[in-house]
Amino acid sequence: MKLGTKVTTFSIVLTVAMIAVIVVVSFLSFRQFTISTEREHIRSVADIVRISLNESLMHIEKEKRDDFLGHLATVEGLHLARVVRSDSVSRQFGKGSAIEQTKDEVEARVMRDGQPYYQLTDENDALVFRGTLPYVATRAGHINCLQCHEVAEGAVLGAITISMSMNEMMRSAYATSSIMVLAIVLFMLVMLLFFRRLVKPVITTAQDVQETVERAIHGDFHANIERRTNDEIGQVAVDLNSLLKFIQDGLTTISVDVAQLLQQTPAREQENLLNSTISRVEGLIDAAHFKQAIEEDETKPEIYRRLSAVLQERFGIKNFSIYEVVPSTNQMTPLMVDGEAGAPCRWCDPQILVHAESCRARRTGHAINSIDSPGICYAFQPPSVEQGRCHICIPVIQSGSVGSVLQLVVKQEESERIQNLQPYLNVYLREAAPVIEAKRLMDTLRASNLTDAMTGLHNRRFLEEFAETLVASNQRRKSQLSILMLDLDYFKMVNDTYGHDAGDLVLKALAKTMQASVRASDLVIRFGGEEFLIIMQDAGGEAADMVAEKIRAAVENMKVQLPGAVLQKTISIGIAEFPHDSDTFWQAVKYADVALYNAKETGRNRVVRFLPEMWKDEAKY
């Protein structure tokens, strides 16, 4: 119920209640007053009758007494006036007239009890008030009843009954009460009109506030509530106008700033400014949390998996691809396809993987949208069962060039929703770009720290970091590792005779020869100077011996062309097995070094397998 209706209803109910109370109280008061008045009238008439009777008895004028009662009964408003004798008076003076002999129950009771009796009755549609009073013998006053009556003082000699009509008095009471009620009604109506006029500005202002707040809930903060009074209600209107203007200006500023961050157009007038601003701010907050999470990720694949989860769970995108541009090449690698890591290219021509320039987003560095421009990219070739799809490709700029590409594949009915989400996706990609670039640089730096710059082989630091993983993998498979320690014979002579450049050429040639002689799963490591280490996984015994002999023969036949000379060198190789020779990996490496030392001592250009008797003097090695 509205406030105006409540006030009106309350005022009417209050007025009706007050009128009803006043009417009831007035009528009850007038009724009580009328009865009291009639009672006094009856007593007065009874006293007159008693005095008249006494006078008549004293002068023995019985006829005058009867005439007096007859005339008294004709008085207007007086229905009945009669006197009845008690039994004691009838015995002493006779029964008297017929009227005096007839008595009803009320008169009998009054003469018996000696107490007056009053009664209000309805006789022939007339309201009659009857009073029956006892005629008591007394010696007080100027008439001594005991002089004539042989009774004790206080005895009841008879009863006087007077009946009076109350119609006229009740009509007067009703008229007076009606006039009072009418006056009260008029007064209350005037008060009601005055009250409504007084509260009308309050009600109108409250309605305006309600409408304004409802509009504000729906994003409309334009308010112009009229100030109708100079009291607190008027000040509320002014303050609310100021508050809503402050909110409108603040939200507009925030919305514009957030739209700039999202590279999105500001909210339109028909949009809910509050909801759109909240949605955009929440998008930025989520993106900030995303950036914080990926900064704590260790590798690029973890970042791309997290980005894939965001696309699926937050934005509800099921079909997408994430491509990474391979640095210093013209190739691309699919990292995520429809949420699956390492899946093959599905939505584009595989030619883009070997010729990245075929990807329009990669080539131009601009977002490609086939929703607005169908057929814009020829490389977009969805499977035949998925025809009718559209796509948006968003390049991710890293260090000034395209480092990766996010491709969104959508159905036509979802195109509008995806386009509305694109500004938020751009924020996620902008937040991810520097983190991915930092991880790439760290990977590059780490790779350079774990790789020998001259030969391109892994270095000793790589082995130190990788050894624990290698041993755990070997123990999990319950397999063995063959460790080959290799060292060129008389390499110092090359540096001393031909210079260090010649020595570098020999080491590079040796690295290529060793890599060509082992499997891709085997690790070739430059252990230090002209010393190398080969770790063969899942190989031992004769297999390791055969590989070692193959390398020795290849090095013996290797010719290194120098300016004005051709060099040929030999190599010595020591072999140990883990965990056959030792249950400690680094001890097994030490045993391979002992076997290498033995090969050097026994003539060089040899392959020697470690035997326990070779470990004679640990300090010697």
Structural fold of domain 458-620: Alpha-Beta Plaits (3.30.70)
Residues 6+ apart with CB under 8 A from 433: 396, 397, 398, 403
pLDDT band at 619; cut points 50, 70, 90: very low
d(CA 334, CA 349): 12
CA atoms within a 13 Å half-sphere pointing along the CA-CB vector of 302: 12
pLDDT band at 466; cut points 50, 70, 90: confident
Q: Beta partners for 83?
A: 160
Burial classification of residue 185, based on how many CB atoms lie within 10 Å of its CB (0-12 exposed, 13-18 middle, 19 or more buried)? middle
Domain 3-171 matches domain 299-448 at the CATH topology level: yes
pLDDT tens profile 405-426: 999 999 988 999 998 888 888 8
Of 246-260, 379-393, 436-450, 488-502, the poorest mean pLDDT is in: 436-450
Cβ atoms 336, 319 nearer than 8 A: no
Residues 226, 231, 236, 239: is their CA dihedral positive or negative? positive
Burial classification of residue 214, based on how many CB atoms lie within 10 Å of its CB (0-12 exposed, 13-18 middle, 19 or more buried)? exposed
Calculate the alpha carbon distances from 355 to 322, 325, 350, 369, 508 in Å. 16, 10, 9, 21, 31
d(CA 483, CA 586): 10
- Residue 274: how many other CB atoms lie within 10 Å: 19
Residue 153 has pLDDT above 90, yes or no: no
Q: Residue written as tokens 């409408």? A: 211
d(CA 222, CA 206): 17
Burial classification of residue 440, based on how many CB atoms lie within 10 Å of its CB (0-12 exposed, 13-18 middle, 19 or more buried)? middle
pLDDT band at 51; cut points 50, 70, 90: low
Instruction: Tell which wins on pLDDT, 400 or 338.
Output: 338
The CATH number of the structural domain formed by 299-448 is: 3.30.450.40
Buried b (16+ CB within 10 A) or exposed e, 276-302: bbeebeebeeebeebbeebeebeebee
Q: Which amino acid is present at 354? A: V
Residues 6+ apart with CB under 8 A from 279: none
Cβ atoms 90, 99 nearer than 8 A: no
Residue 596 has pLDDT above 70, yes or no: yes
Q: Look at residue 126 in the predicted model and tell me its pLDDT.
A: 73
Cα–chain-centroid distance for residue 486?
69
Mean pLDDT of 213-227: 78
d(CA 49, CA 444): 139
Mean pLDDT of 43-58: 64
CA atoms within a 13 Å half-sphere pointing along the CA-CB vector of 602: 14
Q: Tell me the domain boundaries of the chain.
A: 3-171, 220-296, 299-448, 458-620
Architecture of the domain spanning 3-171: 2-Layer Sandwich (3.30)
Residues 6+ apart with CB under 8 A from 7: 195, 196, 199, 203
- Dig out the tokens for 484 from the structure: 């080959």
d(CA 300, CA 324): 10
Residues 6+ apart with CB under 8 A from 332: 323, 324, 325, 326, 352, 353, 356, 359, 362, 405
Q: Provide the 3-class DSSP secondary structure of residue 551.
A: helix
Q: Look at residue 112 in the predicted model and tell me its pLDDT.
A: 86
